[in-house]
Amino acid sequence: GQQVMQIPQYQHVQEGEDFTTYCNSSTTLSNIQWYKQRPGGHPVFLIQLVKSGEVKKQKRLTFQFGEAKKNSSLHITATQTTDVGTYFCAGPENTDKLIFGTGTRLQVFP
């Protein structure tokens, strides 16, 4: 079946440093979603990317969808302690369910 992998699994950064997580799918995706889960919390929808090569920004977060629509990245500029959490990408399998990536846990040290 379809697999969605993320690297790295964990990332520890100093506050103010940048952070990037990469998402790779075994199949071409029609779209990709990103979610954030704070420690002890539940996943929160961040964004959806649909077009090949699409880039979207949300303040310090930059999301990119690969040209081949099999990979995506989330880049955070100048991390803050509020960025702590696990970031998941998710891609559709057929049209009726989401396959979540393995997640990248971000820890930010003040």
Partner 1 sequence: EAGVTQSPTHLIKTRGQQATLRCSPISGHTSVYWYQQALGLGLQFLLWYDEGEERNRGNFPPRFSGRQFPNYSSELNVNALELEDSALYLCASSRDRATVYEQYFGPGTRLTVT
Neighbouring residues of 94: CB distance < 8 A, sequence distance ≥ 6: none
Q: Is-contact 48 90, C-beta < 8 A?
A: no
The interface mask with partner 1, positions 40-79, x = CB under 8 A, is -xxxxx--x-------------------------------
> Distance between CA 105 and CA 41 in Å, rounded?
13
> Distance between CA 62 and CA 14 in Å, rounded?
19
Residue 101 in the binding site for partner 1 (CB under 8 A): yes
Closest CA relative to residue 69, chosen from 9, 101, 34, 26: 26
Q: Which is nearer to partner 1, 74 or 90 (CB)?
A: 90
Residue 39 in the binding site for partner 1 (CB under 8 A): no
Residue 31 in the binding site for partner 1 (CB under 8 A): yes
Minimal distance in Å, beta carbon 99 to partner 1? 7
Count of residues binding partner 1 (CB under 8 A)? 21
> Distance between CA 83 and CA 81 in Å, rounded?
5
Minimal distance in Å, beta carbon 43 to partner 1? 5
List the one residue from 85, 103, 106, 108 that touches partner 1 (CB under 8 A): 103
